A and B are shown apart, each in its own frame.
Chain A
Amino acid sequence: MFLLVRRYTDHRTDPQARIVVDLSAVDFIDSSGLGALIGGLKAARQEGGDLRIACAGDQVKAVLKLTNLDRILAPYGTVEEARHDW
């Protein structure tokens, strides 16, 4: 899934690269997974877009909080909420 994030940001069709990563099927994330999300976020922002995450489970939320990454990757409850102002 994380590789798909990269691929999509590299070959996007949306010129603003607005991406929501639905994490509902992810019950565990490690530092490599975090790195891939940050890579996707940076790539999207470089193109004037953004990457947001939705439906994160407890472990993902805890790890984001403990690494302070929730400040730049705020977890949204649903994909719809993540896209609310797009």
Chain B
Amino acid sequence: MTGEDYTVEGFAVPDELESVHALLSRVAADHPEIDPMDVMLFETAVIEIANNVVEYGEPEGEVRWRLTLRVTDDEIQADLDDTGQEFEAFTGAVMPGEDAEGGRGLAIAESMFDKIELERADGLTHWTMVRKLGRGLGL
């Protein structure tokens, strides 16, 4: 069953990250059947991607985004469109060593999603991010 879509849009700036957290809280509240671990790890991964857009999107402070979340019987999906410059596609981000102070964001996101895809069309970057439900910590 495909349920309601949850959407937030605005500028990709640090203050708006709270709206992303709030949207995930709504999804969790509306879907008590989902393992809280799944929502928590999905949220962690979505926030890493959102942070990436906020931090590196240009022109700084002027990038707009729209995030849509959707829950199905076996998946939770996020679609993020942003107006920033093109990102280089990535896969296989390597988790840095224990003493690294940065560079974990994309590796964290990749480990928590079952699918992450990046497309560029009409001046927008479109991120598709999916986590299968019931994976638990998925180690």
Contact = CB atoms under 8 A, between A and B. Distances in A.
B101 A30 contact: no
A65 B105 contact: no
Contacts, number: 62
Given A31-B48, A32-B51, A58-B40, A66 B108 contact: yes
A24 interface: no
A65 B137 contact: yes
Interface residues of A, number: 21
A30 B105 contact: yes
Interface string B84-110: 000000000001001111111101100
A26 interface: no
B95 A35 contact: no
Interface in A26-77: 28, 30-32, 34-36, 38-39, 42, 58-59, 62-63, 65-69, 71-72
B108 A31 contact: yes
A30 B48 contact: yes
Contacts of B108: 31, 63, 66-67
Interface string B101-125: 1111101100110000000000000
A28 B112 CA distance: 15
Nearest 7 CB-CB pairs, A to B? A35-B101, A31-B104, A31-B105, A39-B101, A59-B40, A35-B102, A72-B98
Interface of B: 21, 36-37, 40-41, 43-44, 47-48, 51, 95, 98-105, 107-108, 111-112, 137, 139
Interface of A: 28, 30-32, 34-36, 38-39, 42, 58-59, 62-63, 65-69, 71-72
